[in-house]
Structure 1
């Protein structure tokens, strides 16, 4: 004879343990999100330290372009940011210093960046390494 699925725990009559476990999980997720936001803020603040608001927008565009390229290469930017934030910072730093912004934008809009990035992207070797890992 099986026990009913809704049988309560005799030692936790009010469900406090289950509630606490739920809160613990939510706090863990909140901390992870805060860490991701803090890393992105550090990147943008570094870019801001070297110039004005136009540079901030340009930096944000470049970081978005990097994420778009990574998705096109079947890499998950947010998962990588959580597991290896130092690699993402290196990728973003190289992207922020890139002189091929116009070509990158053109290739991303045309849907050809995943094929042509090795020709112009300063992150080509790093991205290839991530793809092989």
Structure 2
């Protein structure tokens, strides 16, 4: 949570049930509704949605803060490779589908390398390209 931009009360009801128990926290739709208040451009709808959106914002982002850019749960391409199948070849090659992504991943993340820059969804490309 960025200092001064939000307060705990933006997401949590201080007089409600125990907000520290997982079972009584905000549901995914409620949680995402809080995020969308400021990040409406990411919400869609998109013709081609990134499946991670179905799991909610916290599938990729830490709402309480992160050392990673964009409050991401992991850095670099590791975040993408959590869900997207990869095959390590005898060398250091990383294949996603039939495409060797090794060189792309050395250039940064899947989005910062300039490839899949529409990480939340795209209206033009099923591969999440702008």
- TM-score range for the pair, normalised by the shorter chain length: under 0.3
From the two aligned structures, give the one with the greater helix fraction: 1
From the two aligned structures, give the one with the greater strand fraction: 2
Q: TM-score, normalised by structure 1?
A: 0.26
